[in-house]
Structure 1
Amino acid sequence: MRHYTNLSFILAVGHIMPDADLSGSCPYQPKFRPTVNCLFPGRCLEIISLFSEWLQTRMEVTVIPREAENVWNYPSLDDDPSTNAIAITQGGAVDTTCTFWQEDPNINDVIYTDPVYQLDLVFIVKKQTKTIDIFSTFEVFTPTVWGVCLATFFVNAFAFAMVSITEQRLSGAGVKMRDVVDSVWKVVCMQLRMAVDRPNREITETTSGKILFIEFNLFQTFLLTSLYSGLLLSFLLYETNKLPFEDGNEAVNLIASGRYKLLLLRENDVADRIRFSQLPMMNKLRDALEVNPPTRINSSEAAIGLISAGTHVAIDFVDSELVMVAKSQCNLIWVPSRLPRIPIRFMLNKNATRLRKALNNAIAANLQFILRTFQKYLDPDFRPYSIRDNCIAEELEPKSRLNLAKVSGIFALLCVCLLGSVI
């Protein structure tokens, strides 16, 4: 049951919200529900609107002027306290603000709701297109698989030789080394030429020889070569962008080696987490930054320029403005750090205890809606900027045709064989 029909609260809304649709389709005055012209008004606006209806409360909206600066930063002496989200919440001018916060014991005169969602820390980096070398043709299989294929070939060659020796002894003829070598040579011929090209004159007289012949042609010269042919076609025709690293630990190793420099935004919670966190990966990152100091900058736009150059990597929360701007660039991606997720909450004035209880009940009752809303805004394909169409067009461009570099490994083997035969 909802017992908050006589509850009202004042909500502060700021226009500088990284998850709103900044392409110009949303009007300056905030909309609390998606419309035809404003599909993405913002996560908090959608969620708080649902909460207000579910609780049957009256909500008064205070709009922070669009030209205001440092709306969501920690308040400082240079900031206008009437346009800073933390300051107006502390002072009681509003009960809460339409954004989500990480619980911070250093901020006084505020209280927090239960967690609304949990965020990942991610690394933002330039896409790495896989380079082509003369051995690209053989990278369809890993070296381990190639080693197993070679080992099975030798096992089969040895088995054929043993069967040949056994047949000669059973027939009463002496064992001739030439016949053994000829048997092994036939294995090489079958490996290089499919079984249909070799008539039944290769089949031996004994049952064991026939079984061995069928096994070799089925497995070694048919299944493996067919699998390789199919994978090779996919590998060459549908190349994909490769992640420069798989997780945060690999990113830290690359920073320590000097491959990347770490970008840190000033007035950002991530810098404090790197400084004080006792997680093993953060300890490694601090050690890496002693060898390779970070680059500190003031704006997301400046960060994007350095990341796009391929020399820097940044770390931030998946809902940050930096990640949103990065997703609008076709050549940038974000890679999960695999660190524990961080809970985010509503921040309220310390006297808004009744509102906190109401919001906690609303959070617990509407978890599925909250999850769907966050998934919509944090989807990798969601880009709030107008450049989105350009990225889609780029992704649909056809892949390049096969060139000499992509198949040069085959010609390299040809040259080696020709030189060997000449010698």
Structure 2
Amino acid sequence: MSALAWIAVGSLTAWGWLLLGQGFFWRTDQRLPHREVPAHWPDVAVVVPARDEAEVLPLSLPTLLAQDYPGRAEIVFVDDGSGDGTGELALSLADRHRGLPLRLVSPGEPEPGWTGKLWALRHGIAAARERDPEFLLLTDADIAHAPDSLRELVAAARTNGLDLVSQMARLRVASGWERLVVPAFVYFFSQLYPFRRINGSGSRAAAAAGGCVLLRVEAAARAGVPDSIRHAVIDDVSLARAVRGTGGRIWLGLADRVDSVRPYPRLADLWRMVSRSAYAQLRHSPPLLMATVAGLALVYLVPPAALAAGLLTHDPAAAWAGAAAWAVMAGTYLPMLRYYRQPLPLALTLPFTAVLYLLMTVDSAVRHHQGRGAAWKGRTYAAPEVAGDA
């Protein structure tokens, strides 16, 4: 066989392993586990860190205020130095919609060594703990919840003895770029952190989706969070690792009625979302970056390239192996497209989307080495001296 054919066979072999040996990452059946009505509904505090969120808040905050929760619950809204009137708008919405009581906290600028969101969470959690809740619901300001969301999360945690329950909110898919990039974002995340493996009994793998995390207060104290992960750019994964590292039980899955209302209409918006943390995910390591680029190329770019080159050069082995690898790739993407209610032929575009993610990752590394680090909403974070699990 030609060198191209051997490379294509290598890609097909990699896809065979991903299909069967990576925790069945491509399946989308990990939803909230079995739930029973608890004998007593525990107290819960909903902590919402927010910075310049006036645009999305009218779509998200009323859904939290309207939570149909049988026990005692309150919202601690943390205005993280907003310049667009986010805090005032939150109070206005609370007054207009009533529902759960809302307290506003304004912690000021973060101290050195803290990322903005974790600084906001530190103060929000401290305020919440004044009333001794059993659980904290950490949820982003762009996340809209169904009326029974809090009740279902607490029931799942209580029934299954879980210390952390996280649902990956269904992201908005409306524009052409969102259709191309967003389902792939969740697909790549689940490939990196297979939900079934994380949720397995005795598993050491850990991850969470920061938009919706129900956290037992006792587990948070045991893990020392958020102080123990104060430098983390990828705070949700670091939080899950901290909880699991101290013996906590965690669960992660896809949401059915928890949705992000934040729009990403342009490629530039999606690019910023991904590139701000992509290099942090690689622990700011050039060798890991090079390995990632090579891996992405082998797994996602070789199949269509081998198919095209094989047909042009009359190399049937290369064409066959490339076509087979591309077919497996597309097949594993179909469940995620169904979950996002997108046209199934989009599965064939996954190699192109992978190129975009590869470029976003390289751009993230370039920005870091230029001293611009991870940037979000006017703040830039350099790599911490000890990156830990961030």
TM over 0.5: no
In the superposition, the TM-score normalised over structure 2's length comes to: 0.25
Q: Which has the larger radius of gyration?
A: 1
